[in-house]
Amino acid sequence: MPKQVDPEARRRHVVDALFRVVVRDGLQRASLRAVADEAELNIGSLRHYFASQQELMRFAMQSMLDRLGARLLERVTRIGDLTAHARPERIRLATELLAELLPLDELRRAEVTVFLDFNTAARTDAAFADLSRETAEGARRLVSRVLTRLDASGALRPGLDLDTETERLTALLDGLGLNAVLHPALLTPQACLDALRAHMADLSAADEE
């Protein structure tokens, strides 16, 4: 009898191999052959899932978004009603949520690397423009929602322009991610987290409950 293959397990196996190749060699060099070799599959098996490197690159980006989205949803579910927490705790929980976007460990470093490589490719390849824009818009929506919920709960300083603060915080997260991937010796995970915490503390209301 032919061996039964679990499609979801195979998909996860390919994703893990793909991310390892991207972190090591870059997304543009993540060819079907390279990923097949990394996953210890024959290229025919991989072509069952992807017809071209372009499809593979989109799959890498979408997989990154799916993984990140699942973690963010899990955190939001655990937080529950933000007003049920003390004001300083609201800031801490929001900071931990946003830290999922930073390369603080091996998994998140791989995701940020995929993100950066994909968006670099999207700058000159129209085939990736839609997903690149969707990702940028999604990041801003996330930051905006976090700040809006904090503001509504009274955790932020009064009078903040939330549109401006959304852009400032999004830019901070993007800059930290970029520099931590490109220059890990200069910007460590702890330094990234310290910078994010300092920014969030600056936005928080001075008085405590």
Domain ranges (residues) in the chain:
7-203
pTM of the entire predicted model = 0.86
List pLDDT tens digits, range 61-82. 888 888 899 999 998 988 888 8
Q: Which of the listed ranges 11-20, 32-41, 55-64 does the model predict with the highest average pLDDT?
A: 32-41
Residue given tokens 């955790």 in the structure block: 155
Determine the Cα–Cα distance for residues 49 and 59; give it in Å rounded to an integer: 10
List pLDDT tens digits, range 92-134. 999 999 999 999 999 899 889 989 998 998 999 898 899 999 9
Two structure tokens written together for 118: 């994909």
Residue 1 has pLDDT above 80, yes or no: no
Greatest CA separation for the chain: 69
Residue 204 has φ and ψ, to the nearest 5°, of -75, 155
Residue given tokens 């008085």 in the structure block: 207
The CATH class that applies to domain 7-203 reads mainly alpha
Helix, strand or coil for residue 156? strand
Two structure tokens written together for 19: 């991310």
Q: What pLDDT, on a 0 to 100 scale, did the predictor assign at position 67?
A: 87
Residue 209 has pLDDT above 60, yes or no: no
Average pLDDT over residues 11-33: 85
Determine the Cα–Cα distance for residues 8 and 41; give it in Å rounded to an integer: 15
Report how far Cα 101 is from the mean position of its chain's Cα atoms: 4
